Each structure stands twice: as structure tokens, then as C-alpha cells.
Amino acid sequence: MKMRIEAIQIAEAFNMKKFRAEFRTEVFSGSTSEAFYVFPEHDRFLYLFDYGVVVFANYDAVAKSEFLNFLKPYALNPVFLDLTEEYQIETDAGYPKTMVKNDRVVVPKTDADTLRIVMLNTGQSVALEYYEKLTDELITSSKHYILELERRGKLNISKKELLKYIGKVLNVKNSIVDNLYILDDPNLVWDNEELNLLNKNLKANFDIIPRFKDLDYRLQIVEDNLTLFTDVLNVRESARLEWIIIILIAFEIVLTLFSH
């Protein structure tokens, strides 16, 4: 038996408190930052994360569309980048142990905890893809200014534009820092060797740790560029201020000469 899993980046964040209060289904497990639901009557599973990702398991197109419409009021700053990650969980009693492959995981039996681990890692992967795209945009923007420095020897950017760019960088950085827990191992793997191994193998399959390290490295490059841009702007502003002072002094001298 195969079950399709799909993770979607819907928004920058979800209002989890409001959602859990108004979604008329008891949460199977979760916290203030995530909620995992089991629907045995439909053999469906749902996982929601406060960093704007929802993960479906065994949902058809109609059921998925209905829930996404319900979810809209709880989405903060919707994302329109078509970011999805698909995976499968295959149940085969002939397998003596769990096998993690590129496009699916094969397990001897499927239960809610196993589904939760698979859905968690699929959700983490699509969240990292979202942050990777944001970081790519920041690096592309900074390259434009760096090329301008190389070709013209000066930076054609206003103080307001630079401050807006700094704000965008800090917003991305803070968002990633706030969601560092996406790399944490869930509590249910601590006392279960099989789930712990499954979690580690899935993290390796989705390259979760290397991708996060690369993300952190690229953000550091952007921050270094910001420091450079700020220094250039400060020099430009200082030079402008010096010229204003020189002009004022010259004007005062001229007035003094004419008055005498």
C-alpha cells in the first residue's frame, strides 16, 4: 500500500493559536508551534507548522483544496512561489526493516508516529527551499551593487534604499533564527530506536543539515556585503557633509568680505 505525502509552503507563518482554537478536530500531538492530526475515518493525516508549512498525507485533490481554503484566514503573509515537496510512504510487510529511498520510504507497517516523522522531514525540506529562494534573491540583489562598485567605483543607492535592503536581510535572518527548531529532533524519537533511525535517514535523504549550513553560510555573505555597502554609504555621506561645511564656511567668508 502506498500513501502520498505533500508538503506546501503556504505563508511566512500561521496563527497557530487561533487555528487550533477554531479547527474543530482534536490534535493528535503537537505544541504551540505545530499540530499533527489523525483522521482514521478517512485514513488521512495532517501536519501544520507555524513557519507556514502544511503537510498532507493521503489527501485527494478535493479534500486538500477544501482545507487550503479553510486555512487562508490563519496564513500570515501568504507565499505565492508554488513551493511543494512530494514523498511517498509504502507499506510492505515483506520488508524486515524500514528502507529510506529518494522518492519514498518503505516500512513493514504504518502507524501515526511513523507518518509524523516522514511528514515532519518533508515539511522541513520545503521550508528550507523557501529560505533558500529568499537568500538567493538577497545574493542576486547584492551582486548588482557589487558589479556597480567594480565598474563605476561608486554605489548608486540612496540611504532609503539601503535601509530597505538591510531590513529585508534582517527579516529573512530573524525568520530563520526563529524557526531553528525545525532542525530539532521530535520528542517521540528519543525513546524509540526505530523512529530515531528513520528520522536520521530521512534527514540525510533530504540533505536537511547540509542545506541549513549552506543557507547560514550564504546569509553570512549577504551580511558581509551589507557591511561593505554601509561603509561606502557612510563615506559618501561624510564627504557630502564635509562639502556642505566647506560651502557654508566659504559663504560666510564671502559675506564677511562684502560687509567690510
pLDDT digits (tens, 9 = 90+) for 2-47: 899 999 999 999 999 999 999 989 999 888 889 999 998 888 999 9
For residues 183 and 203, what is the distance between their CA atoms, to the nearest angstrom? 9
For residues 219 and 196, what is the distance between their CA atoms, to the nearest angstrom? 30
Instruction: Render pLDDT for 143-160 as a digit per residue (tens, 0 to 9).
Output: 777 777 777 766 666 777
For residues 204 and 49, what is the distance between their CA atoms, to the nearest angstrom? 21
Residue 98 three-state SS: coil
Statement: the pTM of the whole predicted model exceeds 0.85: no
What's the mean pLDDT when you consider all of the chain? 83
Which runs of consecutive H residues, i.e. helices, occur in 77-207?
112-152, 159-178, 193-205
Q: What is the CA radius of gyration of the chain?
A: 26
Cell numbers linked to 57: 498525507
Listed residue (83, 72, 95) closest to 6, CA to CA: 83
- CA terminus-to-terminus distance, the chain: 101
**Residue that is written with C-alpha cell 482534536 in the block:** 26
Q: What is the pLDDT of residue 243?
A: 57
For residues 19 and 35, what is the distance between their CA atoms, to the nearest angstrom? 10
Looking from the CA of 141 toward its CB, the CA atoms found within 13 Å total: 20
Cα 124 to its chain centre, rounded Å, is 9
For residues 25 and 107, what is the distance between their CA atoms, to the nearest angstrom? 28
Q: What is the pLDDT of residue 251?
A: 58
pLDDT mean by block of 10 residues, the chain; 260 residues: 93 93 90 92 93 95 95 93 92 84 88 93 93 85 74 70 77 72 74 89 92 85 76 60 60 62
